[in-house]
Copies of this chain bind each other. A is one copy, B any other.
Amino acid sequence: MTAKPGKVTQREIARIAGVSQTTVSMVLNDRDGSNIRIPDATRERVRRAIEQSTYVADPAARRLAGLDNKILGVFTYESALTPESMDFYGPLLNGIERAAESLGCDLLFFTSSPVEEGRRRLFHRNTRLRLADGCVLLGQQMDGEDLERLVAEDFPFVAVGRRDETEAPVPYVGIDYGALTETLLGRAAELGHERVLYIHRNRNSPTARDRLAAIERAGHSPAVTLAVVGDDLAGLPRLIGETGATAVFAEDAFLVEDAALVLGDAGADAVSLAALAEVRGHRIGGRNLTGFHTPRQQIAAEALALLQQLISTAPDERGGIEIQRLLQGEVAFGETLTARGGAR
């Protein structure tokens, strides 16, 4: 069943070249140092034997013997390749693929992880995690225990997005949503908005908290009313009436789109709109949505670079590495945030 008839091993090569299997290994790995000196003739003989054959090193054996695998794990807390998730994961995966290509690594997607409570579990009975040299974690929310355990086991990993759900410091590469939020609020104030309504889903993620913290820091210019909303936004027009808000900010572009529909129906489409998240490709009634542009390709590249750094550094020497990195995005001034009372 797992017979490998076509499989050539180093022993076979050694037999053909008339050397020991050790020598074959040496040649293959270019071990040519102080103690080891293989004459070009021998080296050439081995090389030829390998070329004649279809020899390929068994990656499982290499791994077991302690070598790096050049395999990077990719763990997503939800399915990553569905049409819906592509909006979020697409640019990240693209960046990861490119980075992996240039690092010469393969990518192992842990699609087998059993789903519990709507999320995949990283650790389970037969996890292939250890087959990877390290792992990238993706997802809006992550499991604190998973993170703790990865840290405890000194397994090299990097989370995409800021993380703060653990005691131990978790390596991550994320976006500075706090700074972006502040900038956008400042802009709203400049445009004359004194009262803003912020609608969100009360998610318990670090980035969600970053937005709220930035809003708090802004104090009263503008004054922001927070509102937790569910799937039904019917109460939105009333909320706007009660608060006197002239602008509605939402957690993400999809929520803005939903809000725009409700407001349009209620004839309240003069309010300004913005998302405190990536807005690329999102338009509201023909206008470019105001929000952020986040460098997701760059995040992916940076995450893999950090991961490589961790992999190639012994656990006790990782102290010098800056493991928490926040990248700056930029505010995308679309056409949905306009001067208060200004023309639509």
Contacts and interface: CB of A to CB of B under 8 A. Distances in A.
A112 interface: yes
Contact of A128 (B70, B100, B101): B70
B129 A56 contact: yes
Interface stretch (A78-86, A162-170, A173-181): A78-86
Interface string A73-116: 00000011111001000110110111011011111111110000
A126 interface: yes
Q: Which 5 A-B pairs have the closest CB atoms?
A: A6-B153, A60-B63, A100-B111, A81-B97, A107-B109
Interface string A33-72: 0000000000000000000001011111101101111110
A56 B146 CA distance: 14
A5 B315 contact: yes
A123 interface: yes
Contact of A131 (B59, B66, B83, B111): B59
A132 to B, nearest CB: 10
Given A2-B66, A7-B153, A81 B93 contact: yes
Interface residues of A, number: 64
Nearest to A80: B97
A130 interface: yes
A94 B4 CA distance: 30
Interface of A: 1-7, 54, 56-61, 63-64, 66-71, 79-83, 86, 90-91, 93-94, 96-98, 100-101, 103-112, 123, 125-131, 149, 152-155, 312-315
B60 A131 contact: yes
Given A1-B314, A64-B58, A314-B3, A112 B83 contact: no
B126 A5 contact: no
A6 B154 contact: yes
A6 B157 CA distance: 14
Contacts of A82: 94, 97
Contact of A61 (B54, B64, B155): B64
A106 B80 CA distance: 13
A127 to B, nearest CB: 5
Given A3-B314, A127-B56, A97 B111 contact: yes
A58 B155 CA distance: 14
